Structure 1
Amino acid sequence: MDRPSYFTPAEVAAHNTAADLWVSFLGRVCDLTPLVEQHKGDDLLLPIMQCAGKDISSWFDPETKDVLRYVDPLTSCERYYTPRGRFVHVPPAGPRSDWATDIGPPWWRDGRYEVGLLSAKTRWIRVVNTLTSQEQKLQVCSEETLAEILQRYLRYNAHACSYTWKHGRATLDMSRTLSENNVLDEDHELQQLGLDPDLFSPAILLHFNDDLTEG
């Protein structure tokens, strides 16, 4: 079974227009562009539009995976908690003749909108091409394998598959993550020492396979 795609918060944030609208919540990343197109002109889109490209986990109960609820002190009835305003697929507080009840699963439960998962921890690495001495700094997801990180790097070097990836003297297993290859994430320790983790990004060395000077 194919692994899910992981995204950094910065990648989600890049999709922040009505024509290209992503959000993240409870670890999921969803492309709501089709929803926006379907409900174009509806005021119930406004809270979603205002949070385009952002994480909206605060809208949901992490246990039920549903929109947060509260008990209305005036009516003693349970209501959806939507401080930014009611949004698409959230029913009105009272009976309404213009509200369709057969909408199917609401968008936050509809897997068709999900494009991947939000990384629980991102990290920076330096990819150094030992053949050309070019260096590229990459923000990657800690859950990604080296093969998936290679796909991120292809935009900078289309021939990256022709290189052996190493950390120090150790050849990296491309089917494993950085941590599984003993490229440890030391951000927490560096912060405790008052050091900027960005200045101590681990270096991944690319050795060209056809370079006869390499053993």
Structure 2
Amino acid sequence: MEVFRSRYYSPEEVSVHNRPGDLWVSFLGRVYDLTPLAKEYKGDLLLKPLLEAAGKDISHWFNPKTQDIQTHIDPLTGCLKYYTPQGRFIHIPPPLPRSDWANDFGQPWWKDPKYEVGVLSAKTRRIRIINTLTSQDQLLDVCSEETMWEILHRYLPYNAHAASYTWKYEGVNLDMDRNLQQNHIPDEDEEFYNLGMDADDFTPAILLYFNDDLTEF
């Protein structure tokens, strides 16, 4: 059976991957799993900045226009160099030529698509899913870009037969190929914030109605 993999990740989901053996970062709206890189360079001092950044967003390391590491003019040499105030890291060349540094690694890790695992969500939302058959009430944090099918997969740990239900909001069947906003489930967090109200007190509720076919992923 094909394993489902999320396309979108929240900053909170990225943040738990914060160890040498499980090292994720995000930058410029994308999420990267650098665990294989950390294993390859285990014990290398150039790995330290990445270990310190594990689980974090490092977009400030990059020039969004060039999609490359920030650069500056080296005051000693007058040459254009990568700007790494957090310390030189893997695939960044040394400031001066050295015989012990090889540039035969191919693409630097920040340009290598093999490390990319998904998209960093621009906004997470909290929803309530109520199983009308069992009265189970589950709060779920989801990515605003996710379709209802993707949200269903997030909900599977709480109900393995979630696909055997019709999903409804305010009595209307949801289009499972669309996201919350496209299904007219508004995001009112900002409005509640401006009114000084707690948005969690008004979490939208999605109701599940059993179809009796026991679909299981």
Q: 2:31 aligns with which of 24, 29, 36?
A: 29
Residue matched to 2:61: 59
Residue matched to 1:179: 181
In structure 2, how many angstroms separate the alpha carbons of the residues matched to 1:71 and 1:192? 44
CA-CA distance at 1:73 after TM superposition: 2.8
CA-CA distance at 1:125 after TM superposition: 0.5
Further displaced range: 171-180 or 194-203? 194-203
Q: Which digits, 9 at most, give the CA deviation of each residue in 1:21-56, with x for residues without a partner? A: 111111111100000000010000000001111111
Percent identity over the alignment?
63
Q: In 2 relative to 1, CA 57–49 (structure 1 residues): closer, same or farther, beyond 3 Å?
A: same
Structure 1: stretches of 5+ with no match in the other structure? none
CA-CA distance at 1:206 after TM superposition: 0.6
Structure 2: stretches of 5+ with no match in the other structure? none
In structure 2, how many angstroms separate the alpha carbons of the residues matched to 1:130 and 1:60? 48
Residue matched to 1:69: 71
- Secondary structure at the residue paired with 1:44? helix
Does 1:150 pair with 2:164? no
Further displaced range: 146-155 or 196-205? 196-205
1:36-185 maps to which residues of 2 (within 5 A)?
Answer: 36-185=38-187
**TM-score for the superposition, normalised by structure 1:** 0.94
In structure 2, how many angstroms separate the alpha carbons of the residues matched to 1:197 and 1:61? 35
Q: In 2 relative to 1, CA 30–196 (structure 1 residues): closer, same or farther, beyond 3 Å?
A: same
- Secondary structure at the residue paired with 2:207? strand
In structure 1, how many angstroms separate the alpha carbons of the residues matched to 2:40 and 2:77? 33
In structure 1, how many angstroms separate the alpha carbons of the residues matched to 2:67 and 2:117? 17
CA-CA distance at 1:68 after TM superposition: 0.4
CA-CA distance at 1:210 after TM superposition: 3.5
Q: Which digits, 9 at most, give the CA deviation of each residue in 1:92-144, with x for residues without a partner? A: 11111111122211000000000111001111101111111111111101110
In structure 2, how many angstroms separate the alpha carbons of the residues matched to 1:110 and 1:184? 37
Residue matched to 2:194: 192
Q: In 2 relative to 1, CA 21–138 (structure 1 residues): closer, same or farther, beyond 3 Å?
A: same
**TM-score for the superposition, normalised by structure 2:** 0.93
CA-CA distance at 1:78 after TM superposition: 1.3
Structure 1 stretches of at least 4 aligned residues deviating more than 4 Å after TM superposition: none
CA-CA distance at 1:79 after TM superposition: 1.4
CA-CA distance at 1:3 after TM superposition: 9.9
The two structures, once aligned, show a CA RMSD in angstroms of 1.6
In structure 2, how many angstroms separate the alpha carbons of the residues matched to 1:74 and 1:94? 10
Aligned residues: 210
Say whether the 8 Å CA contact 2:6–2:150 is kept in structure 1.
no
